[in-house]
């Protein structure tokens, strides 16, 4: 199993901070420990349990050469998601979700093939047969396609799972995943409906440190699955003690 953050590490990353009580989604109630200054505090014990289950699932998928698509386009998530996905050797979307990425993969696949072909021609010098103006236009097209498709050019089929940072912001990706029956893994803040995802991780999905901690757990689990790396469990302080302290 990949390294699992200690409860202290999760606390320091602000994983436990939810939204204002007025924004609470009723079905997240069971994951809430209490309230602090009008802000809901998530139960870190349940967060850790969910992380353990998700990490085990991702590790198992990786052992079977499964593909997990990382999605995160919000400013505080995009670099974290890109770095983690590249480290794990997985595809990612950090600029803009292209409509039909999952529901119309045949078209997306053709776009990816064209992108790869143009890049290959550019690298081999084949574009020199065109005029300078045509070369400039093709170069611009490659740059535009790289912005949209660069992170998913390795996709040859629909992914086996999708990891989404902020399901409310990435609602199109979530909707397509559900419609395509692709399992969704996601941190769920107190304003989210956990029933919309297959693997819910009760956690702050806005704070950079929280996003980084959770995303790296996913990436580490994938890497462990590919290399069968075993990491010994970390000593823990009872979750109730830590979460209670955070809520004071």
Tell whether 72 and 162 lie within a shared domain. Answer: yes
Tell whether 224 and 168 lie within a shared domain. Answer: yes
Q: Domain containing 67 — which CATH number?
A: 3.40.50.10490
Q: How confident is the model at residue 231, as a pLDDT?
A: 44
Tell whether 32 and 89 lie within a shared domain. Answer: yes
Tell whether 28 and 64 lie within a shared domain. Answer: yes
Q: Domain containing 121 — which CATH number?
A: 1.10.287
Give one DSSP letter per residue of the chain, joined into a string.
Answer: ------HHHHHHTTTTEEEEGGG--GGGGGGEEEEETTEEEE-HHHHHHHHHHHHHHHHHHHHTT--EEEE--SHHHHHHHHHHHHHHT--EE-S-PPTTTTTTHHHHHHHHHHHHHHHHHHHHTGGGGS-HHHHHHHHHHHHHHHHHHTTTTT-SS--SEEEES-TTTTHHHHHHHHHTT--EEEEE-TTS-GGGSSEEEES-SSSHHHHHHHHHHHHHHHHHHHHT---PPPP---HHHHHHHHH-
Which of 91, 125, 156 corresponds to the end of one domain? 156
Q: How confident is the model at residue 246, as a pLDDT?
A: 52
Q: How confident is the model at residue 227, as a pLDDT?
A: 87
Low-confidence ranges of the chain (pLDDT < 70): 1-2, 228-248
Q: Which domain holds residue 79?
A: 7-99+158-247
Q: How confident is the model at residue 170, as a pLDDT?
A: 97
Tell whether 73 and 127 lie within a shared domain. Answer: no
Tell whether 149 and 163 lie within a shared domain. Answer: no
Number of domains in the chain: 2
Q: How confident is the model at residue 137, as a pLDDT?
A: 92
Tell whether 114 and 129 lie within a shared domain. Answer: yes
Tell whether 81 and 163 lie within a shared domain. Answer: yes
Is residue 111 in a domain? yes
Tell whether 76 and 184 lie within a shared domain. Answer: yes
Q: How confident is the model at residue 234, as a pLDDT?
A: 43
Tell whether 187 and 80 lie within a shared domain. Answer: yes
């Amino acid at each position: 199993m990949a390294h699992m953050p200690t409860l202290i590490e999760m606390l320091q990353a602000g994983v436990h901070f939810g939204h204002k009580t007025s924004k609470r989604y009723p079905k997240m109630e069971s994951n809430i420990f209490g309230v602090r200054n009008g802000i809901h505090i998530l139960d870190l014990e349940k967060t850790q349990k969910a992380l353990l289950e998700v990490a085990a699932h991702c590790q198992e998928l990786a052992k079977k050469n499964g593909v997990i698509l990382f999605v995160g386009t919000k400013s505080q998530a995009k670099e974290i998601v890109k770095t983690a996905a590249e480290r794990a050797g997985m595809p990612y979307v950090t600029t803009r979700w292209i409509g039909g990425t999952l529901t119309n993969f045949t078209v997306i696949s053709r776009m990816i093939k064209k992108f790869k072909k143009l890049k290959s021609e550019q690298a081999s010098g084949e574009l020199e047969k065109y005029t300078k103006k045509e070369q400039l236009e093709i170069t611009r097209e490659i740059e535009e396609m790289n912005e949209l498709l660069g992170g998913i050019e390795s996709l040859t089929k629909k992914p086996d799972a999708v990891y989404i940072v902020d399901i409310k912001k990435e609602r199109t990706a979530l909707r397509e995943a559900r419609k395509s029956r692709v399992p969704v893994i996601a941190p769920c803040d107190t304003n989210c409906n956990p029933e919309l995802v297959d693997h819910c991780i009760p956690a702050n999905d806005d704070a950079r440190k929280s996003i980084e901690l959770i995303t790296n757990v996913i990436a580490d689990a994938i890497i462990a699955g590919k290399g069968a790396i075993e990491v010994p469990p970390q000593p823990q302080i009872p979750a109730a003690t830590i979460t209670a302290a955070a809520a004071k």
